[in-house]
């Protein structure tokens, strides 16, 4: 422990986007993967980006030498960074280590992306966000050892530029709590049981950071807020107490800030951390409230996460100030202002959005503006409330303006929502629907279909880009799309699929496409947010009451239907997914916003039906993602999310077959919710769990149509007809035959045509084999 604890700054952000304002990191990393640039060139781009970030944050008012600037760069993922730092790579990557046992950039990327026979680490969603982290694999055999100098060399790099930064590392409890057991581990092994072996390596890492010049280190422990992990909150709190007793007692370490964002820290963890020998704690006050006074706070800094790290709204500084000053009653040595989480979940800078209405812009804050708000609050804490009165008033005025602006509240939308009755959420008797649909559709047993998109080829992307730049006319672009649809329809007919799709070539993205066509939304030009690795998404901004000025998909679907006698599936994105993958207004309950979106979709469904479309799919791949981390919040969430889906679909006629698609295989967790959606047919991801889902469905008593995906579209691998037949055989044996549909496990947009055609041919051959048997 250092002799004198350096003061913690009065304001900080818990992390900053690392992809670059113009996604420079994506381009650099992908060029390196493609072999067009060497590692040195990539390292140089990354170093330039880190420099630009530090300079920018200093310009925005964070201190150059007071540890208020976090060093939160990552080439791919912060969980992988921590796993690699402590040497926790599974055996299959052992060969990739350097001669001295360290893990270089090549091995790091291989763990992230796989190589040959060696599958990459699994990827899964980070808490209830749309960011995906790599799941560490840890077993009894994992030999922890400091294996990368990346963290300390970044601190040293900053130092040489005159910055004292605060390195950000995923903490030991969270690293283990998010890990899964290696294949070699015995049944029932918990990675968290390796905590005592891991801590000395973290202590060594802290020493290296100190030696490199870090005065503070930030250890992120969001696992301590979750009730959805294998370890219970009590077990996690206990682990935190042990971990921070050891790390706090380490010699020659920087001062330690432990953060716990994304929700309220569990009371047990709060008590444990307050008593731990660390110097500062950061808590989320946007998704949690002030905790009770706790023993041990007197010597610590408490960082109140009052500026939301996960949305893009300009924070209410008056409310933030009230929350911060309320923290003073807890008796900490100092209160500081902070963001609730890292800002990795928001885009860089709203100033880049020159095409947005300036009035909308004045309501927004991206990472740079949020940093500015933290700096303001920090000044208030240091110099008194009067010193920031102007900024607080300006933020309040922007909020008031937003409340009263046209479009934020639309009388007609509100009246319609207020008049809803339970009948609007209810599609009526399922058996009657089955009979009507059988008569209308005349499908064979084991009907075959796909999830919606066909490969988004370079040609499609180029045509869209050229249309966007005005290089081709709208008529030319639409003709291109009609040709593409015609090709995809012919292909499906040739393959022998039963329910066809138009292929979604006109959609840049399954949410943005609807956002662009609904009132109440805007889309950004540069608002990219990392989704995983080099992938980023550009969430739309849902700022006002939602309504549908005109039909959206009807022309494309009816054109596609005109080309075939087979049923053509209309394709919509559901209300929950539209919310989950957008930045959503925070001035009313999500439930109300979801119902507005649902009503717009309901009108679209009515128009599709009127135009002769008899099968309509409403995708809800994000239903599971938004599930709250706290058990107590889950029933209310499921109520409104399921309700909004039902509202969107319940206007459909009995003879209209409503499908939905869900993108995950943890079927058991939300099985009741899936049943409650009351879709006629549900397709789900199942290929990777080798059909285990089929057993879960059979056990659950789910009676509606179900298409457990028969092959994994996330990989270019072509499944053989034999292996698909095996899965189908299992499905047809364990489930009533009339329930089973045959489909890939997700949309095909990321795949190439060669493997797509071959794969579809194989699943149809497999279907014919099983049909002949049953
Ligand atoms: N219909 C969409 C597609 O096929 C569904 C994608 C998804 O669920 N993520 O692309
Ligand atoms: Zn999917």
Residue nearest to atom 10 of ligand 1 (CA): 747
Ligand 1 pocket test: which of 577, 744, 747, 760 has the largest number of ligand atoms within 8 Å of its C-beta?
747
C-alpha 685/C-alpha 689 separation (Å) is 8
Strands 535-537 and 529-532: antiparallel
pLDDT for position 697: 87
pLDDT for position 671: 84
Measured CA distances, 363 to 59, 253, 271, 350 (Å)? 22, 42, 37, 10
Residue 2's pLDDT band (boundaries 50, 70, 90)?
very low
Closest CA to 517 of 485, 479, 555: 555
Ligand 1 pocket test: which of 621, 664, 756 has the largest number of ligand atoms within 8 Å of its C-beta?
621
694 CA distance to ligand 2 middle (Å): 17
Q: 354-359: long-range contacts at Cβ-Cβ below 8 A with a sequence spacing of 24 or more?
A: 354/525, 355/525, 356/522, 356/524, 357/522, 359/401, 359/405
Question: Do 294 and 311 meet the contact criterion of CB atoms below 8 Å apart?
Answer: no
pLDDT for position 690: 67
Ligand 1 contacts CB of residue 453 (under 6 A): yes
| For residue 117, pLDDT beyond 70 | yes
**526-554 confidence digits (pLDDT tens):** 999 999 999 999 999 999 999 999 999 99
Ligand 1 contacts CB of residue 616 (under 6 A): no
Residue 437's pLDDT band (boundaries 50, 70, 90)?
very high
Measured CA distances, 575 to 190, 392, 622 (Å)? 37, 34, 10
Question: Do 515 and 543 meet the contact criterion of CB atoms below 8 Å apart?
Answer: no
Note the maximum CA span of the chain: 81
485 CB-near residues (< 8 Å, 6+ apart): 502, 503, 505, 556, 559, 560, 563
H or E stretch covering 216: strand 216-220
C-alpha 692/C-alpha 706 separation (Å) is 14
452 Cα nearest atom in ligand 1: 4
| For residue 741, pLDDT beyond 70 | yes
**596-635 confidence digits (pLDDT tens):** 999 999 999 999 999 999 999 999 999 988 999 999 999 9
What would the mean pLDDT of 87-103 be, rounded to a whole number?
93
Residue 679 tokens, joined: 């879709």
CA of 665, nearest ligand number: 2
Q: Which residues sit with Cβ closer than 5 angstroms to ligand 2, an ion?
A: 621, 663, 746
Helices (H), 540-666: 554-562, 575-580, 590-610, 634-649
| For residue 266, pLDDT beyond 90 | yes
pLDDT for position 39: 96
| For residue 455, pLDDT beyond 70 | yes
749 Cα nearest atom in ligand 1: 10
Chain-centre distance for alpha carbon 588: 22
453 Cα nearest atom in ligand 1: 4
**656-704 confidence digits (pLDDT tens):** 999 999 987 676 677 888 999 999 999 998 766 667 788 888 888 899 9
Burial class (CB in 10 A: 0-12, 13-18, 19+), 3: exposed
CA of 509, nearest ligand number: 1
Work out the angle between the directed axes of helices 78-85 and 150-160 (0-180°, nearest 10).
Answer: 110
Work out the angle between the directed axes of helices 389-404 and 367-383 (0-180°, nearest 10).
Answer: 140
pLDDT for position 687: 65
**390-411 confidence digits (pLDDT tens):** 999 999 999 999 999 999 999 9
659 CA distance to ligand 1 middle (Å): 12
What average pLDDT does the chain have?
A: 95
**555-593 confidence digits (pLDDT tens):** 999 999 999 999 999 999 999 999 999 999 999 999 999
For the sheet containing 540-547, what is the strand order? Answer: 519-522, 540-547, 582-584
Ligand 1 contacts CB of residue 179 (under 6 A): no
What would the mean pLDDT of 206-230 be, rounded to a whole number?
97
What would the mean pLDDT of 713-733 be, rounded to a whole number?
90
Ligand 1 contacts CB of residue 507 (under 6 A): no
pLDDT for position 18: 97
Residues paired with 541 in a beta bridge: 522, 583
Residue 3's pLDDT band (boundaries 50, 70, 90)?
very low
**124-173 confidence digits (pLDDT tens):** 889 999 999 999 999 999 999 999 999 999 999 999 999 999 999 999 99
Q: Which residues are catalytic?
A: 714
Strands 569-573 and 535-537: unpaired
H or E stretch covering 693: helix 692-700
pLDDT for position 1: 42
Question: Do 620 and 677 meet the contact criterion of CB atoms below 8 Å apart?
Answer: yes
């Amino acid at each position: 422990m250092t002799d004198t604890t350096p003061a913690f700054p009065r304001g900080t952000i818990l992390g900053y986007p690392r992809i670059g304002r113009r996604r420079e990191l994506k381009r650099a990393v992908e060029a390196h993967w493609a072999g067009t640039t060497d590692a040195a060139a990539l390292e140089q781009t990354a170093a330039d980006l880190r420099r630009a970030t530090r300079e920018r944050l200093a310009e925005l008012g964070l201190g150059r030498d007071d540890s208020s600037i976090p060093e939160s760069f990552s080439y791919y993922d912060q969980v992988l960074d921590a796993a690699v730092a402590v040497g926790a790579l599974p055996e299959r990557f052992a060969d990739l280590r350097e001669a001295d046992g360290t893990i270089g950039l090549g091995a790091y990327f291989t763990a992230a992306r796989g190589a040959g026979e060696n599958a990459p680490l699994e990827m899964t969603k980070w808490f209830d966000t749309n960011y995906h982290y790599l799941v560490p694999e840890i077993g009894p055999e994992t030999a922890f050892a400091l294996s990368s100098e990346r963290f300390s060399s970044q601190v040293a790099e900053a130092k040489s530029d005159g910055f004292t930064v605060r390195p950000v590392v995923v903490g030991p409890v969270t690293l283990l709590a998010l890990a899964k057991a290696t294949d070699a581990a015995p049944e029932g092994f918990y990675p968290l049981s390796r905590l005592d072996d891991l801590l000395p390596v973290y202590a060594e890492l802290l020493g290296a950071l100190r030696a490199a010049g870090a005065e503070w280190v930030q250890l992120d422990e969001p696992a301590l807020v979750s009730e959805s992990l294998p370890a219970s909150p009590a077990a996690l709190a206990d682990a935190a107490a042990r971990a921070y007793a050891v790390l706090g007692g380490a010699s020659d370490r920087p001062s330690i800030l432990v953060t716990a964002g994304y929700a309220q820290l569990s009371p047990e963890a709060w008590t444990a951390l307050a008593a731990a020998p660390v110097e500062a704690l950061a808590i989320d006050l946007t998704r949690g409230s002030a905790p009770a006074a706790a023993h041990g706070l007197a010597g610590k800094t408490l960082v109140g996460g009052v500026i939301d790290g996960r949305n893009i709204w300009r924070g209410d500084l008056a409310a933030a100030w009230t929350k911060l000053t309320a923290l003073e009653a807890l008796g900490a040595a100092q209160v500081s202002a902070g963001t609730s989480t890292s800002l990795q979940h928001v885009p860089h800078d709203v100033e880049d959005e020159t095409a947005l209405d300036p009035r909308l812009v004045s309501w927004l804050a991206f990472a740079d503006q949020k940093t500015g708000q933290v700096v303001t609050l920090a000044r208030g804490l240091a110099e008194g409330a009067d010193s920031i009165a102007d900024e607080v008033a300006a933020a309040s005025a922007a909020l008031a303006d937003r409340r009263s602006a046209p479009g934020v509240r639309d009388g007609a939308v509100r009246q319609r929502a207020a008049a809803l009755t339970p009948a609007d959420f209810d599609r009526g008797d399922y058996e009657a629907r089955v009979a009507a649909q059988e008569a209308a559709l005349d499908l064979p047993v084991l009907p075959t279909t796909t999830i919606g998109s066909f490969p988004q080829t370079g040609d499609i992307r180029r045509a869209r880009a050229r249309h966007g730049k005005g290089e081709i006319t709208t008529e030319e672009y639409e003709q291109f799309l009609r040709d593409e649809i015609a090709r995809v329809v012919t292909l499906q007919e040739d393959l022998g699929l039963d329910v066809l799709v138009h292929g979604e070539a006109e959609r840049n993205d399954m949410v943005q496409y609807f956002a662009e066509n609904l009132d109440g939304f805007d889309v950004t030009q540069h608002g990219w947010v990392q989704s995983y690795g080099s992938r980023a998404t550009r969430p739309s901004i849902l700022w006002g009451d939602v309504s549908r000025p005109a039909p959206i998909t009807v022309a494309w679907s009816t054109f596609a239907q005109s080309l075939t006698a087979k049923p053509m599936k209309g394709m919509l994105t559901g209300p929950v997914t539209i919310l989950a993958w957008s930045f959503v207004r925070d001035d009313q309950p999500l439930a109300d916003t979801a119902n507005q979106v649902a009503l717009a979709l309901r009108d679209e469904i009515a128009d599709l039906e009127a135009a002769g479309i008899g099968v309509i799919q409403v995708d809800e791949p994000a239903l599971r993602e938004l599930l709250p981390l706290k058990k107590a919040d889950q029933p209310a969430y499921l109520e409104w999310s399921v309700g909004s889906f039902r509202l969107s679909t319940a206007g459909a006629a009995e003879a209209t077959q409503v499908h939905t698609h869900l993108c995950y295989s943890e079927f058991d967790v939300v099985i009741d919710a899936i049943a409650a959606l009351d879709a006629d047919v549900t397709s789900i991801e199942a290929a990777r769990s080798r059909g285990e889902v089929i057993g879960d469905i059979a056990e659950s008593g789910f009676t509606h149509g179900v298409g457990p995906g028969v092959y994994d579209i996330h990989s270019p691998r072509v499944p053989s007809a034999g292996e698909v037949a095996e899965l189908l055989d299992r499905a047809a044996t364990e489930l009533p035959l009339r329930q089973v549909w045959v489909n890939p496990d997700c949309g095909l947009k990321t795949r190439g045509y060669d493997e797509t055609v071959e794969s579809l041919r194989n699943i149809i051959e497999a279907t014919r084999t099983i049909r002949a048997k049953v």
